[in-house]
Every structure is written in structure tokens, then in C-alpha cells.
Amino acid sequence: SECREWALLELQGVLEIQPSAQHLPLNAFSIGSLCRSQQEKYYFTIGYHELEGKKVSLKKPMLVLQKVLREDPIDVESSPVVLSTQYPTQVQKTSELKAIGIIRHKILFKTRPKALISK
């Protein structure tokens, strides 16, 4: 299994979903575009606003976990009283956490956004 490297985006402020789109699943949204310059500066464009940020190492790495449900068969012992009946296979549902990513850095946007168009 591959454990991919992820990064956090730390923004100041609130991102809000328009009321007309609140019924859509979260993965249906595109928040903006993230670009990196050769000088290791990061630019995040959201609508008509651009944020400038930098890459910062986290003090402690974080894992990205996924809950995986598993069905394990349970051994059912035959009863000596009922010899001809076959017991249906019983299943026990268990869950485990699987590491799917590691986060060692965050992209920090701590300044106010710049307007890309003027009125």
C-alpha cells in the first residue's frame, strides 16, 4: 500500500458554500487553483482573489487515516443435538484505520487576499 504525501492549506477567514449549492456533495466543488513559483512562493486563486503563501514544516507530522470496514467470518461450532443442519456462515463486522497519507508541511496564507480585478 502506498502512503502519499499530502499538505495542509491554512487560510485566514471562512470559505462558505452558496445556499443554492448546499445539497451537492463536498467533492463536487472546486475551491480554486494552487500554483507554485520557482522562488517557492505559493499562489492560491479563489474566484477574483489571490492569496500569496509559503511552505512551512509542521512540528509533528500528521497521518491521514481512512476507516475500512471488514467482514470476518466467525467459526460456528456444530451442536451435537442437531447433526443434519448446516449453520449459515456468520459474519462479524470490524473496522480498522488504514494510513493513506502523511502530512509534513502546510502552505500558510497569512496575508489578506489581493483583488485580481478592480471596480
Mean pLDDT by runs of 10 across the 119 residues of the chain is 84 82 82 92 92 95 90 56 52 83 95 82
Kindly report the pTM of this predicted structure: 0.67
Inter-residue contact 110 to 52 (CB < 8 Å): no
Q: How high is the pLDDT of residue 62?
A: 95
Residues in the chain: 119
Q: How high is the pLDDT of residue 3?
A: 77
C-alpha cell at 27: 467533492
Q: How high is the pLDDT of residue 84?
A: 46
Q: How high is the pLDDT of residue 90?
A: 63
Q: How high is the pLDDT of residue 63?
A: 93
Q: How high is the pLDDT of residue 76?
A: 52
